[in-house]
A = this chain, B = another copy of it.
């Protein structure tokens, strides 16, 4: 396989993992920056992530428009991806999803979503909440053009995740594996924090030093990182699609 074929196959795996782990249902999507052209990204056409195959992957510009003639319908919210790739050259992969257990943190202001468990450290110390109503008034809450996408990317700033009020979240990673992992552990961290708050008393969050220490250990193809990717892919029924770099 060419390098591009491998990237596309990894993107298929990512779609299936996110579906199996209930980060996405029929809605939500994951993208990766094109390996040979940083001004393009790859994402599925409008289809449920669980059903994505290599043939469904399309190539879009950072403006969210297809770079080749494309008759198939595209995700309405592909501008989330384009705008984040545009604003953040360090970001290689993006997820937008509505994972259920993150939603409450976008609509209630009682507790801020912050890391309380080590696997949640990658969401970073700060998780801003973007409210589309602030700059766009009454909408259908979907990010359907670049202006809205750029507003969201601005709110994300240098962070890894932003909640979207009444809607879901967008997460941005340095690799596909990282953004998938972040998106799987974000709801888990949300659940742990929700329960901690129910138990009462004071809550011990991860310190900035701990978040930094974990971040320094980042390596997209370390044995530890690969272990989860391999596990999730097998669980999602697509272990046979796995390709490990350098093997």
Contact = CB atoms under 8 A, between A and B. Distances in A.
A140 B118 contact: yes
A100 B192 contact: yes
Max chain B Cβ within 10 angstroms of own Cβ: one of A131, A141, A214, A216 = A141
B201 A110 contact: yes
Nearest to A102: B192
A221 interface: no
Given A108-B196, A166-B117, A140 B210 contact: yes
B196 A111 contact: no
A32 to B, nearest CB: 21
A132 to B, nearest CB: 9
A103 interface: yes
A206 interface: yes
Interface string A127-167: 00001010001111110000000000000000000000111
A228 interface: yes
> Copy number in this complex?
4
A203 B107 contact: yes
A48 to B, nearest CB: 4
Q: Which of A110, A167, A202 has the most CB of B within 10 A?
A: A110
Contact of A198 (B48, B137, B197, B235): B197
A85 interface: no
- Interface extent on A, as a size class? 35 or more
B207 A133 contact: yes
Contacts of A105: 199
A78 to B, nearest CB: 13
B201 A139 contact: no
A111 B25 contact: no
Interface string A194-236: 1111111111111101101110110000011001101110110
6 closest cross-chain pairs (CB), A and B: A138-B209, A110-B200, A110-B201, A48-B231, A26-B228, A104-B195
Given A26-B231, A166-B206, 15 more contacts: A25-B231, A46-B223, A48-B227, A51-B234, A98-B117, A98-B119, A103-B116, A107-B196, A108-B195, A108-B199, A108-B204, A133-B210, A137-B209, A138-B207, A198-B198
